[in-house]
Structure 1
Amino acid sequence: MGIWDSVKQGTKNMARLNTLQQKIKNNQQLDSSERKEFEELATRTIAEDIMKSPSKYFKQSAKYGQVSIDESKQLFQVAFKTYHFNELNTYELLENGSSITSGGLGIGRAVVGGVLFGGVGAILGGVTKKRKQTNFVESLKILVTFKNRKPVSTTIDFIKKTQEKDKKYEKILGNAQETLAGFDYIINSLEENRHTELVGTIDSSFPLGSSVTDELRRYKELADEGVITIEEFEAKKKELLN
């Protein structure tokens, strides 16, 4: 094959790879032959390519305040950058430099100062008991930290100059709360994934020949410990008894 033929073939391969990548971005399933073709052209699996270039595959399916989410591929965008769900570490709402609420994997989300109220959980006051209530806010932002990512953090600014606590402030605060809800959604998805993996590991841990009674007893212990829910225990009980 001559140089010109090689160039034409390379261009053709690139166009074909772009077509397959676009199908994946649009959540269209590739058949077995297309998957094999993709791996030959990209020299990596689909999962590896999404991991390497998440922004190329991102397609928004939901939006919470300043967080855009691709639920199918478990990707999210903040400040025009794309991340994988499992890269999210912690997030914290700061008002005038003081923490109001924070969350992360394994810790849920807790209110540090202020009181949650309203449909989107707006924060009343937003101050700790040690600070006096004021009618003005100098800054309001969310600090987000990541795992295995550089830079390790980013800031989403909502208020950067003095703002009176009026209806405009409440609207801005509502946007911040919606953004926190987006991070909550990501963390909840990660917790569900981890729970599913744990239950799968438990299912495979029973030795061959275990009696139904032994398995039921073990699942009951897991339900009592809170590892699985009562509903999951009842479903497993019904499955085993049948």
Structure 2
Amino acid sequence: MGLWDSVKKGASDFSQLSTLQNKVKNNEVLTVDEIEEFERLTKGSIEESIRKNPTKYFKKSNKYGQVEIDDEKRLFKIGLTAYHFDDLNSYELLENGSAITSGGLGVGRAIVGGVLLGGVGAVLGGVTKKKKQTNFVESLKILVTFKNKKPVSTTIDFIKKKQKKDKKYESILLTAQETLAGFDYIINVLENDKHGEIVGNISGSNNLSVADELRKYKELADDGIITIEEFESKKKELLE
């Protein structure tokens, strides 16, 4: 193959790959031939390509405050950077350096200081009881940490200079709460995946006695991984 032929083939491959990548980004279904061509051009699977460069393939399907979601590929985006759902480790809302609320996989979300009002409503007293409450805020941000990523954390800033706790503050706080709701959504998806995997693994085991299976399900119910109703249903099924 001559130099000119190589150049033409390279341009053709580049154009074809761009077309296929756009289809993947837009969540279009690829044919078997297109999948094979994609894998030939990238020397890997579609899943591997998304894992290596989630930002390239991200397409927003929903938005919570300052975090965007791609439900189809299970990606989320903060600013200009996209991450996989399972990259998320923890997140916390900090006011003047003090944690108001925090969350993460396996712990849900809990109020650390202050009081949350209704869903994505306001946060009152974003300081612990030991600190004197003021009418001004110096900073308000969400600290997000990741698993197996560099850098290991990032921040979403909402207030970076002195701000009075007025209507503007309440509006900013609402956006921060909506952003937290986005991270809550991601954690709920991961928790549901974990729940399904555990239940599926237990259901697929043929070497456990009925008593052993019941103990397993009771432990899951006690830990809140499955509901009491699910436990009772499985208990009835096993005993019958």
Using structure 1 for the length normalisation, give the TM-score: 0.89
Give runs of aligned pairs for residues 38-117 of structure 1, distance below 5 A. 38-117=38-117
**Which deviations, in whole Å up to 9, do the C-alpha atoms of 1:53-96 show, x marking residues without a partner?**
11111000111111011011111111211111111111111111
Conservation of the 8 A alpha-carbon contact between 1:67 and 1:78: yes
| Count of residue pairs the alignment pairs up | 239
Conservation of the 8 A alpha-carbon contact between 2:114 and 2:123: yes
CA shift, 1:40, in A, is 1.2
Is 1:228–2:226 an aligned residue pair?
Answer: yes
How far apart, CA to CA, are the structure 1 residues paired with 2:60 and 2:14? Answer: 25
Secondary structure class of the residue paired with 1:205: coil
Unaligned stretches of 5+ residues in structure 1? none
Conservation of the 8 A alpha-carbon contact between 1:114 and 1:126: yes
Conservation of the 8 A alpha-carbon contact between 1:219 and 1:233: no
CA shift, 1:28, in A, is 1.2
Conservation of the 8 A alpha-carbon contact between 1:103 and 1:184: yes
Which has the higher mean CA deviation after the structures are superposed, 71-80 or 217-226? Answer: 217-226
Conservation of the 8 A alpha-carbon contact between 1:206 and 1:215: no
Structure 1 vs Structure 2 CA RMSD = 2.3
Conservation of the 8 A alpha-carbon contact between 1:91 and 1:142: yes
The 3 A distance-change label for structure 1 pair 16 and 237 is farther
Secondary structure class of the residue paired with 1:194: helix
Q: Which residue of 1 aligns with 2:185?
A: 185
CA shift, 1:111, in A, is 0.6
Matched to 2:108, the amino acid is: G
Using structure 2 for the length normalisation, give the TM-score: 0.90
Secondary structure class of the residue paired with 2:204: helix
Q: Which residue of 1 aligns with 2:152?
A: 152
Secondary structure class of the residue paired with 1:59: coil
The 3 A distance-change label for structure 1 pair 128 and 193 is same
The 3 A distance-change label for structure 1 pair 217 and 154 is closer
**Which deviations, in whole Å up to 9, do the C-alpha atoms of 1:7-61 show, x marking residues without a partner?**
1112111211111111111111112222122111110001000001111110001
Conservation of the 8 A alpha-carbon contact between 2:214 and 2:235: no
**Which deviations, in whole Å up to 9, do the C-alpha atoms of 1:184-213 show, x marking residues without a partner?**
111111111112222222222224xx78x6
How far apart, CA to CA, are the structure 2 residues paired with 1:20 and 1:64? Answer: 29
The 3 A distance-change label for structure 1 pair 45 and 105 is same
The 3 A distance-change label for structure 1 pair 43 and 196 is same
Q: Which residue of 1 aligns with 2:24?
A: 24
Conservation of the 8 A alpha-carbon contact between 1:222 and 1:228: no
Which has the higher mean CA deviation after the structures are superposed, 117-126 or 65-74? Answer: 117-126
The 3 A distance-change label for structure 1 pair 113 and 224 is closer
CA shift, 1:233, in A, is 4.5
Identical columns (%): 66
Q: Which residue of 2 aligns with 1:12?
A: 12
The 3 A distance-change label for structure 1 pair 239 and 107 is same
How far apart, CA to CA, are the structure 1 residues paired with 2:127 and 2:213? Answer: 49
Matched to 2:35, the amino acid is: R
Secondary structure class of the residue paired with 1:206: coil
How far apart, CA to CA, are the structure 2 residues paired with 1:147 and 1:215? Answer: 34
How far apart, CA to CA, are the structure 2 residues paired with 1:196 and 1:36? Answer: 31
Matched to 1:36, the amino acid is: E
